[in-house]
Amino acid sequence: MPEEHRERKPAGSRGKSVREALQGLEKENRSLVEQLVRASALIRELENRHYEASRKEREGKMIAAGLLHDLRNPLGVISSCAQFCLENVDLDPATREKVQTIFENSQKAQDLTKQFLDYTKTSLLDFKPIKLHQVLLSMWKMSKLESAPCRVAFETRLDKRLPEIMASRENLERVFLNLFINAIYAVSNEGKVILETRLLPSRDRVEIQIIDNGEGIPKEQQERLFEPFYTTRETGYGLGLSICQSIIHQHKGTIAIESQVGKGTTVTVLLPVSQSGPPPERGEKKDFPKSQTPGPT
């Protein structure tokens, strides 16, 4: 059909179609704005809930810390009096046994109170430049004293390129002292503990590995190792690894445990060099060369 004979819409009809299209777009735009307003209100509500929950958590920790601090004083008096009686008073066997029980349980209560205090004190950390190797070697020496007699072989593989890192020295000391004592306990004074450090290729994180050739940890237990109050020891309280994890997370780091029954356990800690970046993701699984695989020595 020739062009001049084609049916054309009147100008008024085209204008009406455009107006209808614009009205449709305006309606969709109003709907989107309403959805954005509702989403914004929901975000504010969630932020307020999070702030309130964080505030209550901080207040709860402060109250708990105060109560635990006050509890330590009478426990100390009970322990001291019981010890004095045991050392200086002539007691009949039955009474001595009871006083000994009082002394031992007051000591356990003091130890548990200290661990609770440690758990509540991980909220505020004082970050300063520290030399990580100094902290690690110092804590290894202390762990041997606390685990005496200790005849565990100790091997270091330290990366000399490690820079100073921004961290809370006091709290990292608590972490690595706990991890070293765990490793010594795992090898039963007859095995080997390896300390390995390295600067990751990105140069913004350092990796610390503590490797022991102990009996290893069953898989079903590994999943619960960081739960508060979960322990596989008869004398433990189950707070040590939970405290370690809390401190490492506050350093924007990660901590992971890999273990094989009959071969040993590897604890891997990743820490950022500075505290200005985002929390690092857990590093890729690293395969050890055969010469470094934990095994009987």
Residues 28, 48: Cα–Cα separation, whole Å: 30
Task: Convert the pLDDT of each residue in 151-176 to its tens digit.
Answer: 788 999 999 999 999 999 988 998 99
Tell me what pLDDT residue 69 has.
57
Superfamily (CATH H level) for 128-292: Histidine kinase-like ATPase, C-terminal domain (3.30.565.10)
Mean pLDDT over 125-150 rounds to 85
Tell me what pLDDT residue 294 has.
36
Please compute Rg for the chain using Cα positions.
31
| Residue with the larger pLDDT of the pair 41 and 63 | 41
Q: Domain ranges in the chain? A: 12-121, 128-292
> CATH assignment of 12-121?
1.10.287
Mean pLDDT over 132-150 rounds to 84
Decide: 235 and 178 in contact? Cβ < 8 Å: no
Tell me what pLDDT residue 290 has.
33
Residues 106, 75: Cα–Cα separation, whole Å: 6
Residues 247, 171: Cα–Cα separation, whole Å: 7
Whole-Å CA distances, 98 to 62, 84, 87, 196: 35, 14, 14, 47
Q: What stretch of H or E contains 119?
A: helix 93-120
Mean pLDDT over 15-20 rounds to 66
> In this model, does residue 92 exceed pLDDT 60?
yes
Share of the chain above pLDDT 70, in %: 67
| Residue with the larger pLDDT of the pair 71 and 176 | 176
Which of 19-28, 171-180, 286-295 tops mean pLDDT? 171-180
pTM for the predicted model, two decimal places: 0.58
* Residues sharing a CB contact under 8 Å with residue 20, sequence separation 6 or more, in sequence order: none
Task: Convert the pLDDT of each residue in 216-237 to its tens digit.
Answer: 888 888 888 888 777 766 666 5
> In this model, does residue 77 exceed pLDDT 50?
yes
Q: What are phi and psi of 233, to 5 degrees?
A: -100, 150
Tell me what pLDDT residue 65 has.
57
